[in-house]
Structure 1
Amino acid sequence: MIEQLAAGAREVADDLSATDVLSAIRDRKAAENQAAADQLLLAARWADLHPPESIHSAASFTVPGCEHEEPLAGDGTPLVAEFCVAELGTVLGISSTAAKKLIGHALELRHRLPRLWEQVHAEQVPAWRARSVAETTIHSSPALTREAAGFVDAQVAAVAGRIGSAQLDRLVAETIKRYDLAVADPAADPEDGYLFVDPRHVTVDTDDVHYAGTLRIEAEIDLADALDLDRAVTHKAQEQKALGSTESLDVRRAKALGELARTQTALDLHFQGNGVESRISATEADQPNLPAAREVMIHAHFDASLSGDTTVFGPTGRMENGQRLVLLEQIRSWCGGSRTQVTIKPVIDLNTPLAAQGYAIPDRIREQVILRDRTCVFPFCTRPARGCDIDHITEYDHTAEAEGRPQPGPTTTDNLATLCRFHHRVKTHSPWHYAMVAPGVFEWTSPRGHHYRRDRYGATAIDPPDPPGIPRPRRR
């Protein structure tokens, strides 16, 4: 019966009964769980095979906006050579950051959460559930000692990993209290001061842009600040309605938050032909020379054609922020707001090679490479190109001109590519190498001879399939 499901184009046989379907999907789920557990074993073994030469060459997580780095796993776990994660990630078809998480979770479970580790490989706890616990214990603030992590392990293993995120947070807080790990907050009550862990933050997820042109904001702020913000947003939403807005309350509250960010004090509504007078905020009427309130840089690309002397834009385009589609009407609405300053940059032909003398990369060449590559060109990396380094694919020889030799790595768009800082270092300091085989198309070779092709649509492995009969990892 199971073989029937694998036949042909993986179509479900028409003669399967309801019982057969449930049995087959249960077996598939069990196989999926087993494969995920095996991945953790193999990731831990990969880490064992790649110890760093020194603490300075160990893999870690960089924290955006902070000067410090976080380790892959907690105290008591072995360090891992930083560049080995790139090859593991490409084999799995995931980013280097995701590969770091996989290795970190495997080491955290094996060394600091051993009960949960054993339950995963006894098929009592699914790997994803154990990994969520490991993610929490790795990045706890303050950091959990090995003994404290063992306490969490014992509590979670006692319920076979069936613990929700809120319960896990409370358990970690109790562990911090039990092991006296937190630094006391002088302003807090002495009874609770040693439990102080400041959770305040404001996070704008700029990498995940919705097709509607929106971003998600998450924040945790002081109670008084939160109440003040709620009152201000509520007031501005009511103000918009009084000025004639017919949008929903949620939309008006969202727009009110944007107005607060731009320090605007009223909403502009202009209706034509409906008998409603145009309303302009008193602040803007009294001070017409106010500077532009919006200072947002949006890179949107639209196809255009000429109709006589008129440029006609297509209805949809691509927005660099988040690599999402965007409607022309959305761009018009964003640019039509009050005191919005609009800058239109000239069109750059991506098909015309550009070159410069010397090593420095002029702005026009940098912009062309960024627009062509869109992201870091390392396989499966999604870091936006504007935050990347511009790499000479073939190294620039600074002594070639003085010695009368031809320059092997000229500064031309055919020899330049965008690489995030981590993958730039991987390319420079490890056996990884790559070449551009067509404009914007790159072929990479890993230290162990795996090959990948990366173009603007993504990355694919171009290796022959692995031979059958590869043994499953042994459990320790």
Structure 2
Amino acid sequence: MDEPLFDPPPDDEPGEPPAADPTTYDPAFFEPHQPPALGDLMEGGCMVREGPDAPPRAVTPGYGLPEDPADHIVQLREVEALARFAEIRRVALVADLVEAAPPVERERVVGCGGEGTPDVPEFLPMEIGAALGMATERARLLVSDALDLKWRHPRLWNRMVEGDMPPWRALTVARMCHGLTLFQVTRIDDAVGDELPDLAWARARRLVEGEIAAADPVAAAERERARLNRRHVGVGLRLGATGAMDLFGVLDVADARQLDATLARMSEDLAKAGDESDLDARRARALGLLACGGLQGAAPVVHLYLHAWADGEVARLEGHGPLPVGELGRLLERCTVRFTRVIDHRESVPTDAYEVPPRMREQLNLAQPYEVSPFGSVRARHSDMDHTVPFAMGGETAPHNLGPLGRASHRARTHGGYALSQPTPGRWQWRTPRGQCFEVTNRGTRRLPG
């Protein structure tokens, strides 16, 4: 497992384009190349580099497909083995990196995994997330799971490294056991670590849940009571939908049964009144009617930020997504609507104070809806406003010198050796302590040559 996962092409490969200038955008630099034949792919690796300093990228997979269905099956097995090897390699690299990497500048070492795992540099998950194209919090979870798996589940780790178990299953088991002591986890790993790879995932998960409960019955009972005490109902974004949101929650059994019976009765009444939609849609509508009619006193005020253009066919509901203009009447039929004119950023006057005025912050929220860290996922309304040129070094409190950063990214930029510049307003360029370079705009993150 010490050889590199993929071999880069030779340096003298003909037609290799030059490295891109990180301050300019060269469309030719990002044009897809002519892919090799499938046999060459399987024999020589499936990663290429567009330039000597460019990151590796995958070739187009849809070429050279076989004619015989039996060959499809053979290649599917080969691709599955390659994908599993890549996932194993990723987990092993993450676990090894967080153990070996020293802190940078004023960076602290903090606990990330469960009991018995080593501490890690505080901002290293941000660097790992940038390398893998994922948000920092998701990368921090990967680091925690990888450490738990390697240091607390040795049998399961070895079975994963040998290719007997998909990494995602092993990492999920490690996460399920995260809150247990090292002694309890060791007993579970000894009991079932060699059995899990041979079980279907549903059976394996139930087996682990049973072992967790048996490891500490008192704690299992407390967790069940705590779950009941954490009853909640929430509303969240429904990905891919334009006029719907998800409702989720945890209720006690009596309340859940009562709600279910009430929705069933109301859905029947709606059908008798002429509602021809299916049962699920009627139940959803019934719950909406309960929300409108079951309130004591005035309904609470809810703020929806809707961005629309006079000649546009699609509006944008902030925090939700696109919505056809024709649907606005239904959405706003019971709302009090306040129109706000378009904010002109040229009207913004810099301030001598460090604090960002509310109107200027609203301008920045509209211009850059998410944090400007690489692959950041924290909404601007929940972020700090960072001075690109620090205020203490003469940087203005003005839109051209500000950008939203989530608290973790803001701390990494301040204390962890991350270099940040804003060559033009709305265009942030990062260099991480370990040499990765990125450009972030409101269209997302683009890797730059180091």
TM range (shorter): 0.7 to 0.9
Structure 1 partner of 2:328: 331
Q: Does structure 2 conserve the Cα–Cα contact (< 8 Å) formed by 1:74 and 1:108?
A: yes
Structure 2 matches for 1:240-255, cutoff 5 A?
A: 240-255=270-285
**Closer, same or farther in 2 for the Cα pair 1:432/1:262, shift >3 Å?**
farther
Structure 2 partner of 1:64: none
> TM-score, normalised on structure 1?
0.75
**Closer, same or farther in 2 for the Cα pair 1:162/1:453, shift >3 Å?**
farther
1:101 aligns with 2:141: yes
Residue type of the alignment partner of 1:145: T
Aligned counterpart for 1:371 among listed residues 366, 375, 394: 366
Give how far 1:167 is off: 5.2
Structure 2 partner of 1:297: 303
Structure 1 partner of 2:430: 444
Q: Does structure 2 conserve the Cα–Cα contact (< 8 Å) formed by 1:182 and 1:196?
A: no
Structure 2 partner of 1:150: 186
Distance in 1 separating the partners of 2:232 and 2:369: 27
Structure 2 partner of 1:356: 351
Q: Does structure 1 conserve the Cα–Cα contact (< 8 Å) formed by 2:213 and 2:220?
A: no
SS in 2 for 1:25: helix
SS in 2 for 1:38: helix
Structure 2 matches for 1:202-221, cutoff 5 A?
A: 202=232, 204=234, 206-221=236-251
Give how far 1:37 is off: 0.7
Give how far 1:35 is off: 1.1
Q: Does structure 2 conserve the Cα–Cα contact (< 8 Å) formed by 1:152 and 1:175?
A: yes
Q: Does structure 2 conserve the Cα–Cα contact (< 8 Å) formed by 1:156 and 1:163?
A: no
Distance in 2 separating the partners of 1:148 and 1:12: 50
> TM-score, normalised on structure 2?
0.79
Distance in 2 separating the partners of 1:201 and 1:170: 26
Structure 2 partner of 1:433: 419
Distance in 1 separating the partners of 2:171 and 2:405: 29
Structure 2 partner of 1:63: none
Residue type of the alignment partner of 1:230: D
SS in 2 for 1:453: strand
Give how far 1:362 is off: 1.4
**Closer, same or farther in 2 for the Cα pair 1:317/1:203, shift >3 Å?**
same
SS in 1 for 2:197: coil
1:175 aligns with 2:207: no
SS in 1 for 2:313: strand
Distance in 1 separating the partners of 2:406 and 2:196: 42
**Closer, same or farther in 2 for the Cα pair 1:436/1:243, shift >3 Å?**
farther
Structure 2 matches for 1:70-81, cutoff 5 A?
A: 72-81=112-121
Residue type of the alignment partner of 1:219: G
Give how far 1:74 is off: 1.8
1:257 aligns with 2:255: no
Structure 2 partner of 1:38: 89
Structure 2 partner of 1:84: 124
Structure 2 partner of 1:3: 40
Q: Identity of paired residues, percent?
A: 26
How many equivalent pairs are there?
395
**Closer, same or farther in 2 for the Cα pair 1:25/1:240, shift >3 Å?**
same
Residue type of the alignment partner of 2:183: E
1:387 aligns with 2:373: no
Distance in 1 separating the partners of 2:108 and 2:288: 43
Q: Does structure 1 conserve the Cα–Cα contact (< 8 Å) formed by 2:153 and 2:193?
A: no
Q: Does structure 2 conserve the Cα–Cα contact (< 8 Å) formed by 1:396 and 1:408?
A: yes
SS in 2 for 1:317: strand
Distance in 2 separating the partners of 1:77 and 1:302: 51
Q: Does structure 1 conserve the Cα–Cα contact (< 8 Å) formed by 2:306 and 2:315?
A: yes
1:457 aligns with 2:439: no
Q: Does structure 2 conserve the Cα–Cα contact (< 8 Å) formed by 1:203 and 1:219?
A: yes
Q: Does structure 1 conserve the Cα–Cα contact (< 8 Å) formed by 2:387 and 2:401?
A: yes
Distance in 2 separating the partners of 1:413 and 1:378: 17
Structure 2 partner of 1:23: 74
Unpaired runs of at least 5, structure 2: 1-37, 49-58
Distance in 2 separating the partners of 1:231 and 1:299: 35
Aligned counterpart for 1:346 among listed residues 338, 341, 347: 341
Residue type of the alignment partner of 1:444: W
Distance in 2 separating the partners of 1:184 and 1:244: 48
Give how far 1:409 is off: 0.9
Residue type of the alignment partner of 2:403: A
Unpaired runs of at least 5, structure 1: 60-70, 186-193, 266-282, 284-289, 305-312, 398-406, 465-476
Structure having the higher Rg: 1
Structure 2 partner of 1:414: 400
Aligned counterpart for 1:235 among listed residues 229, 246, 265: 265
More helix by share: 2
**Deviation readout 1:230-276 (Å, 9 max, x if unpaired):** 123233334444554333322221122233334448xxxxxxxxxxx
